[in-house]
Amino acid sequence: MQGFAGFMWLLSMGLLAFSAFALIDAAIRRDDAYRAADKKTKPFWLIILGIAVVVNVLFGVMSFLPIIGLIATIVYMVDVRPALRGLPGGGRSRKGGSSSDGPYGPYNGGR
């Protein structure tokens, strides 16, 4: 029985790490990238994946709720994430860009 408990603990930690990775990945993507990829909004995915992480922490794998969270995480990883990564810039937040930058580079005031 001790071996089974150890396996279930490892499985629980793996699901938690998978859900946490998806949550962090969703958080670093730009908000407008979700609209450009024609997916649900960034807050929607942050809430869903955040709930999946919390459920994994509270219930482990001994309930059906983590399985629902796992399904949501898998949907994000195989559908939403590739669509976001396929966008120019990978859908990630730009560092160092100015507020006058447009989609094709800096705006020069019509010169």
Give yes or no for residue 80 having a pLDDT over 80.
yes
β-bridge partners, 101: 106
94: phi then psi, degrees, rounded to nearest 5 = -85, 140
pLDDT-derived band at 93 (thresholds 50, 70, 90) equals low
Q: What is the pLDDT of residue 73?
A: 96
Give yes or no for residue 44 having a pLDDT over 80.
yes
Q: What is the pLDDT of residue 104?
A: 63
Contact 45, 26 (CB under 8 A): yes
